[in-house]
Amino acid sequence: MHLSPIIAQATGQQMSPMDGLLQTAPMILFFIAIFYFIVIRPQQKEQQEHDKLLAALQKGDKVVTKSGLHGEIHEVRDDVVVLKIAEKTRVTMAKSAIMNKGTAGTGENKS
């Protein structure tokens, strides 16, 4: 028996906990769907794009790291890159520390 709370009070019948759950389930599903499309899905797309960027890194690419370091890739290994940040200065970093490709020294993105 599915009675709204107002009708249940007027008729003197008690509403079971299951009736309340069935009435709120569509609203809960709606909020889960909204959360998915606003938070989870865009984050997954961004992660996929970043993974493609890391897979396409090559020697000579100018990059910007998550810490703000600008440099040119000198060497690419499995999960490590060697950045040339100045003449005779090279830094070994995790590949995942690369934020995006850009012009070394200016912070401009290639688009």
pTM (predicted TM-score): 0.66
**Token pair belonging to 82:** 């060697």
For the chain, 111 residues long, give each residue's pLDDT as a single digit of tens.
455 656 555 565 666 777 777 778 889 999 999 999 999 999 999 999 999 999 999 999 999 999 999 999 999 998 999 999 999 999 999 999 999 998 645 444 444
Which residue in the block uniquely carries the two structure tokens 């090559």? 58
Nearest 5°: the CA angle 57, 110, 44 is 65
Looking from the CA of 73 toward its CB, the CA atoms found within 13 Å total 23
Q: What are the residue ranges spanned by the domains of the chain? A: 5-53, 59-101
Say how far apart CA 30 and CA 73 lie, in whole Å.
46
Residue in the structure block whose two tokens are 């996929």: 48
Q: Mention every residue, 6+ apart, whose C-beta is less than 8 A from residue 74.
A: 59, 82, 83, 84, 90
